[in-house]
Amino acid sequence: MTDIKNLETYDPFEDVQEETETKTKTSVFKPIHLRVKTRRGRKKITTIENLSSEFDLKMLLKEMRKKFCCSGSIVNDERLGEVIQLTGDQREPVAEFLVEEEITTKRGIKIHGN
């Protein structure tokens, strides 16, 4: 039956389904948020949210710690998922770092705070 072309089953939505799956992933635009919190007097903490799970967060943390000469950790938040914490006010160096490593563009980063 497949030899006769008129009787071939043709699903016109085959290609479209694959596209929609990929589109739903990319259409949801999740920017990376950089926030600062004061701890005690002059000391501060920066938090990095919404990093996609494709990346190995531990390796990222390690590089950031070496580059910025600070300590940091990964924290599991109920609402927001995994969040990277760094000591000090590291918003701008982190933003440059993310852009250099081609993790996001400038648009995908949102800086909060002063």
Give CA–CA dist 93/83, Å, rounded.
Answer: 17
Q: Is the dihedral of CA 100, 97, 31, 111 positive or negative?
A: negative
- Under the binding rule (CB under 8 A), the answer on residue 35 touching another protein is yes
73 interacts with another protein by CB under 8 A: no
Instruction: Decide: is 78 part of the binding site for another protein (CB under 8 A).
Output: yes
Does residue 79 bind another protein (CB under 8 A)?
A: yes
**Position 64: which residue type?**
M
Nearest distance, CB of residue 5 and another protein, angstroms: 48
Q: Which residues contact 95 (CB under 8 A, 6 or more apart)?
A: 34, 106, 109, 111
Smallest CA-to-CA distance from 110 within 29, 28, 32 is with 32
Q: Which of 18, 20, 30, 37 binds another protein (CB under 8 A)?
A: 37
**Which range of residues in 35-43, 52-60, 89-97, 99-107 is near another protein by CB under 8 A?**
35-43
Residues lying near another protein in the complex (CB under 8 A) are found at 33, 35-38, 45, 47, 49, 75, 77-80, 83, 85, 112-114
